[in-house]
A and B are shown apart, each in its own frame.
Chain A
């Protein structure tokens, strides 16, 4: 069984630039969620995709957007990067059900200068 993978592992951008992060779901999972984790904090929910449709969104501005593809892989796009966007970005995949467990990837560390 293939786990959740993310790319790239690390990324450095400058303020105002745009970034795309990628995630491949665990085999058999059709739901993907994205989280932002600042240093010393717990992950914060950005949004979730189910069968290529957004299925819930946290308290993040519209410059955070996403896509899910037919093979259930996903992208997180962030426009007009700000210094506070520096964080570990985590992708998690799951299969809908009772209290469905979300399995996380290794994350992408983004540094905005």
Chain B
């Protein structure tokens, strides 16, 4: 069964304290792995798409990496405005619903000034 597990469930950081969020996945052929940011009561905002092991992408203070079993979202010197829930999702190459995203439960990040 395709599934995504994110850890930790919640993370509290001081402003400037770098850390990483983990996304472990099992999928019948990876078509793509996606990271989204979601603010309370709003829709997910797209951050990154990763396609193959070894791939890395960066955007401001965020860097996403991918291996064959997991992905990491590294946050360097976070600011309070980085506080949000970060969602990881995978898209499978095989199976009945190839187009859908399978999401983890998310990591709720709080950055204190």
Residue positions of A touching B, CB distance < 8 A: 4, 6, 31, 33, 35, 40-45, 48, 50, 55-58, 88, 90, 92, 94, 96, 98-107, 109
Which of B11-19, B38-46, B57-65, B73-81 contacts its partner?
Answer: B38-46
CB of A98 within 8 A of CB of B51, answer yes
Given A98-B32, A104-B36: A42 in contact with B99 (beta carbons within 8 A) = no
CB-based contact A33/B100 at 8 Å = yes
13 cross-chain CB contacts under 8 A: A4-B43, A33-B101, A42-B104, A42-B105, A43-B44, A44-B103, A48-B97, A48-B99, A57-B96, A88-B41, A90-B44, A98-B31, A106-B42
Q: Closest CB-CB distance, A17 to chain B, in whole Å?
A: 23
A96 to chain B, nearest CB (A): 8
A33-B100, A109-B41 as given contacts; A101 in contact with B46, CB under 8 Å = yes
**Chain B interfacial positions (CB closer than 8 Å to A):** 4, 31-32, 34, 36, 41-46, 49, 51, 87, 89, 91, 96-106
Closest to A99 in B: B32
Contact B49 A101 (CB under 8 A): yes
Q: Which residue from chain A places its CB closest to the CB of B48 in the assembled complex?
A: A101
Instruction: Please pick, from A33, A35, A101, the residue contacting B34 in the complex, using a CB distance under 8 A.
Output: A101
Contact of A45 among B34, B102, B105 (CB under 8 A): B102
Known: A56-B99, A101-B34. A106 touches B43 (CB 8 A): yes
Do B91 and A41 have beta carbons less than 8 Å apart? no
B105–A40 touching, CB < 8 Å:
yes
13 new A-B contacts, CB < 8 A, other than A102-B101, A104-B43, are A4-B43, A33-B100, A33-B101, A42-B4, A42-B104, A48-B99, A56-B96, A99-B31, A99-B91, A100-B99, A103-B46, A104-B46, A106-B42
The CA-CA distance from A103 to B97 in the complex, in Å, is 18
The smallest C-beta distance from A15 to any residue of chain B, in angstroms, reads 23
A103–B98 Cα distance when bound, in Å, is 17
Measured CB to CB, the closest approach of chain A to B13, in angstroms, equals 20
Residues of B within 8 A of A92 (CB): 101
